[in-house]
Structure 1
Amino acid sequence: MMLGNVVDPLEKLELIDTLQRLGLSYHFDAEINKTLKNISTDRISTVAWKKDNLYATALEFRLLRQNGYKVDQDVFTCFMDDVGNIKSSLNQDFKGLLSLYEASYLILEGETILENARELAAKLLKQYLKENNDHQYLWMLVDHALELPLHWRMPRLEARWFIDVYEKNKDKNPIILELAILDYNIVQSIHQEDLRYVSTWWEELGLGKRFNFARDRLMENFLWSAGMIISPEDGKSRIFHTMVNALITVIDDVYDVYGTLDELELFTDVVERWDINEIHRLPDYMKIYYHALYNSVNEMAFDTLKEQGIDVVPFLKKLWTDLCKAYLVEAKWYYTGYTPTLQEYIDNAWISVGGSLMLAHSYLVTDHITEEGLHNIQENYSDIIYGSSLIIRLTNDLGTSPHELKRGDIPKSVQCYMYESGVSEEEAREHIRKLIDATWKKINEDQMAKLPFS
């Protein structure tokens, strides 16, 4: 009962935050949930511990919203002056400003107080980095947050970084630090076992060797999976996620840089039919990939049938068909030289990025899948799946689109908006960044609603 031994509410929140950032929170889920529920219930009646304390108020706000509790942005109005700026008396409260900055990324649509607070806090924190380096621990946290907020980071990578940083905290708990190091190494060994499994699967599949034009990125695929799916008991989810990502990477390159339009139309049709007897219609190199896809997906579906008693083959067939159809749309744009509008691009690209397919496969290894949940994903997709996929796509466009264009890919979101609106590349990039920010707000709303597949 680690949290039960802590009386002060702020110390409880700080301990929860530390456990989460060190990757230890999964050991204390029940305690953390109970503590946050109690704090949420009591936060209006007992405010003395956080009164006039920006750091405490923002930390409570972030942790509660992260876990689905509704907290109004008005809790920050007492820290603002008459014109909506952060009170000048707080300009040197860098610990509080950092807490406010991190909390602001749990923003919802229309929350102008948080919007303004983020901008002002960022400005003051950037100034702090330039002028101060006397507090190494705080300086590193500020620099890290301004690079990328905690809410947007991969938990596993954050844990590895934070272990080293927490060691520099003069107020650290040495027992928790020792536990974090031990736990990280134990979990790492489990992840290595998962990696050995998928490496053997990939080697036996032979796609990396046979498709020398395609990106062989199993390690990157696994890093993505392990970075998000941390818990030791979620090995099957990491494995499925990696397998699907590896299969997507290869077929993406088939559609982008290798297949002719006729071959791609044929392959899309064969995937939609999902019949191994149709394989004779494909060129030899596509036969190899289709066989690998068909067998791998059916094996995952069989595993789900054994564990859950639900036949998910029709569900997975539709998801893979949707992906191939989205790839085919992009291939037709490329071969005809068509530049889509930004909205046309988005309507197709959120599917072609493959995020929805990977998230749906991950759903299959949870212990509570239902026919209703599968139906909602298949027919409507959820807002969280749509939003997550869109962020993956748009963020990827900002980072890699020039490289992909050189490989012969279609114009990405930046180029589509430039062509449609006649703006400069930097203006287009800023527009895409705003779209990403708006999508995060919607995801935050869905997270608070706790309705992932409704």
Structure 2
Amino acid sequence: MVNFLWTIGQSFQPHYGYGRRMITRLNCLITTIDDIYDVYGSLDELELFTDIIERWDVNAIDQLPYYMQISFLALNNFVHEMAFDILKEQEFNVVQYLRKAWIDQCRSYMVEARWYYMGYTPSLQEYSQNAWISISGPVILAHAYCFTTFPMTKESLASMEDNMTNIIYWSSMILRLANDLGTSSLELKRGDIPKSIQCYMNETGASEKDAREHIRYLISEAWKKMNRERATSSSFSQAFMEYAMNVARTAQCIY
């Protein structure tokens, strides 16, 4: 229910019915795999799980615990189902691009898992460099791109990899910072890594109130940069740009 509510905020138009169904399923997978890294997996299990995802090796899953086997196969089937749908619709194979988005996602989860087991608190900059990916903005937008862009080309998909300087980065950063403002206290209690608020407090000695104010300022600055990117970029379709904006808007609404 919650995962479908997110998709309504990101694409409410009737003709995006397929996209809402697929992104809802994607969000369910993100939620499940995020919990594997945050709650259920031991460090050794997570290292192995990440390695198998990086190689996308279905034949290696017997090395994993049962619950990780189920999760990887569900992910594999979902990625190939969506790639099949896009291939039928546009005669263009996106499977490698969707896999790469998930590989990047799980690598970022693994970084945070190592920090947690080390008891390490990164600087705000170091945290942010990883956290804009781990919040799942890029993987969501990689999948959304497939049903908001016609026609797709190798050149346009290559531009998806230039995340650090485009609207994907700023949308994901707002999603991350809004999430931290809304959930970090609860997540720390259940045993998660320090979020942007705690990283800033640890780095500067600021109070929690001042740290939260600083994160709100960063969100405001990110909006300015995203608006500027939208006004000047020609890399993406307007439909995709609006979707990216809506990811950030929905995050601030929900959190």
Normalised by the size of structure 1, how large is the TM-score? 0.51
Shift of 1:378: 2.6
Matched, 1:301 2:83: yes
Q: Residues 387 and 303 (structure 1 numbering): CA distance in 2 closer, same or farther, change over 3 Å?
A: same
CA distance in 2, matches of 1:278, 1:312: 23
The residue aligned with 2:215 is 432
Q: Residues 304 and 382 (structure 1 numbering): CA distance in 2 closer, same or farther, change over 3 Å?
A: farther
The structure that has the greater radius of gyration is 1
Shift of 1:448: 1.2
> Which residue of 343, 368, 382 maps to 2:125?
343
CA distance in 2, matches of 1:337, 1:453: 40
Which segments of 5 or more consecutive residues in structure 2 lack a partner in the other structure?
A: 238-255
Shift of 1:379: 4.7
Shift of 1:227: 2.0
Counterpart code for 2:98? L
Q: Residues 228 and 379 (structure 1 numbering): CA distance in 2 closer, same or farther, change over 3 Å?
A: closer
Structure with bigger RCO (C-alpha 8 Å, 6+ apart):
2
Counterpart code for 1:419? N
Shift of 1:450: 4.2
Counterpart code for 1:306? K
Identity %: 58
Matched, 1:371 2:120: no
Query: How is 1:12-51 mapped onto 2 (pairs within 5 angstroms)?
Result: none
Contact 2:163 2:169 (C-alpha < 8 Å) held by counterparts = no
CA distance in 1, matches of 2:33, 2:145: 22
> Which residue of 377, 400, 409 maps to 2:192?
409
Which stretch of structure 1 is more off in the superposition, 359-368 or 348-357? Answer: 359-368
Query: How is 1:66-81 mapped onto 2 (pairs within 5 angstroms)?
Result: none
The residue aligned with 1:384 is 167
The residue aligned with 1:10 is none
Contact 2:159 2:235 (C-alpha < 8 Å) held by counterparts = no
The residue aligned with 1:274 is 56
Q: CA RMSD in A?
A: 1.4
Contact 1:418 1:425 (C-alpha < 8 Å) held by counterparts = yes
CA distance in 1, matches of 2:99, 2:214: 35
Matched, 1:286 2:50: no
CA distance in 1, matches of 2:227, 2:44: 42
CA distance in 2, matches of 1:449, 1:309: 30
Counterpart code for 1:345? Y
Matched, 1:254 2:31: no
Matched, 1:319 2:117: no
CA distance in 2, matches of 1:381, 1:370: 21
CA distance in 1, matches of 2:164, 2:200: 26
CA distance in 1, matches of 2:88, 2:162: 24
Q: Residues 346 and 448 (structure 1 numbering): CA distance in 2 closer, same or farther, change over 3 Å?
A: same
Contact 1:241 1:362 (C-alpha < 8 Å) held by counterparts = yes
Shift of 1:237: 1.3
Q: SS state of the match for residue 365, structure 1? A: helix
Once the two structures are superposed, residues 420-443 of structure 1 have per-residue CA deviations (whole angstroms, 9 ceiling, x without a partner) of 011111111111111100000001
Shift of 1:402: 0.2
Shift of 1:284: 1.1
Once the two structures are superposed, residues 331-367 of structure 1 have per-residue CA deviations (whole angstroms, 9 ceiling, x without a partner) of 0000000000000100000000001111110110132
Which segments of 5 or more consecutive residues in structure 1 lack a partner in the other structure?
A: 1-218
Counterpart code for 1:261? L
CA distance in 2, matches of 1:262, 1:379: 32
Once the two structures are superposed, residues 253-292 of structure 1 have per-residue CA deviations (whole angstroms, 9 ceiling, x without a partner) of 1100110001001011111111211211211110011110
Greater helix share, 1 or 2?
A: 2
Contact 1:354 1:389 (C-alpha < 8 Å) held by counterparts = yes
Q: Residues 266 and 395 (structure 1 numbering): CA distance in 2 closer, same or farther, change over 3 Å?
A: same
Aligned residues: 236
Counterpart code for 1:430? E
CA distance in 1, matches of 2:88, 2:182: 41
